Amino acid sequence: MSEARWTVVMPVKRLPAAKSRLRGALPGVPHEELALALATDTLRAVRACPAVAGVLVVTDDPRVTASVQAAGARVAGDPGGGLNAAFRHGAAVAGPRAAVAGLTADLPALRPAELAAALRATRGVRGFVADAPGGGTVLLAAPAGAPLAPRFGPGSAAAHEASGALPLAGEWPSLRRDVDTPADLADAAGLGVGPRTAALLARVAAAVEYGAGMQGTVATYDASTRSGVLLLDDGTELAFPARAFDASGLRLLRLGQRVRIERDADGEVVRVTLPTMA
């Protein structure tokens, strides 16, 4: 099979709604910025893949549109109806003569060579690559003339196999490492992420090292569990555990109260104090 034959379809939600389980994963980083970084780094790797002829991003978000168009991708408006509707729409826009690969937009550690190997492994039939845990799907590929027929969502790997798609069994750790949770993000960082995501991780690391005195206000506080949520000055929500309150020397916290936050090397909140306290 010749290279540069695939059209990759990547749906990206509106940034405020994207990757909701990652909200607050990087303290001090606006959630939308993290979601955009994941998509941008995924696109960068896809564009560098020798098996990819073009990328079509399905989105209605103006920031995503501007970013991916600047990176050389085409954009199609999101038709609504969820992820599978977006994949179907992208495949339809690509046209019946295109070999289409549906790819999730949360693969910041993706290596172009791994994507190329997976696409070659389809050998002219509809196939899919499961995510690292094995239950989800990161890639669904269909040759020209065959319907993509996406079944993304919970249990999608089993659903795709039941629909007749061939499970592709290569190792491909960077392709399989989608990012839904903070733990996933840490795993992706261990593989080596793209420049946009790496810059955000570096910003957080620098804040931990040099900015332990970050400030915010108390958004919620439960006296029974001695835990709550802080609203940082950039609008990011950051949860704090009981041990952080216990280390504060305070008896209680009030909603709207101004506090200073101290974190450890992993970015975890270890102490919540008043700005006037040493």
Annotated binding site for phosphoenolpyruvate: 137, 153, 156
Rounded Cα distance between 263 and 192, Å, is 24
Rounded Cα distance between 217 and 13, Å, is 29
Q: Which amino acid type is present at position 89?
A: H
C-alpha torsion angle, residues 167, 171, 172, 173 (rounded to 10): 120
Rounded Cα distance between 152 and 187, Å, is 22
Contact 5, 32 (CB under 8 A): no
∠ CA 24-25-29, nearest 5°, is 65
Q: Which residues contact 260 (CB under 8 A, 6 or more apart)?
A: 213, 214, 215, 272, 273, 274, 275, 277
Binding residues: 137, 153, 156
Q: Which amino acid type is present at position 141?
A: A
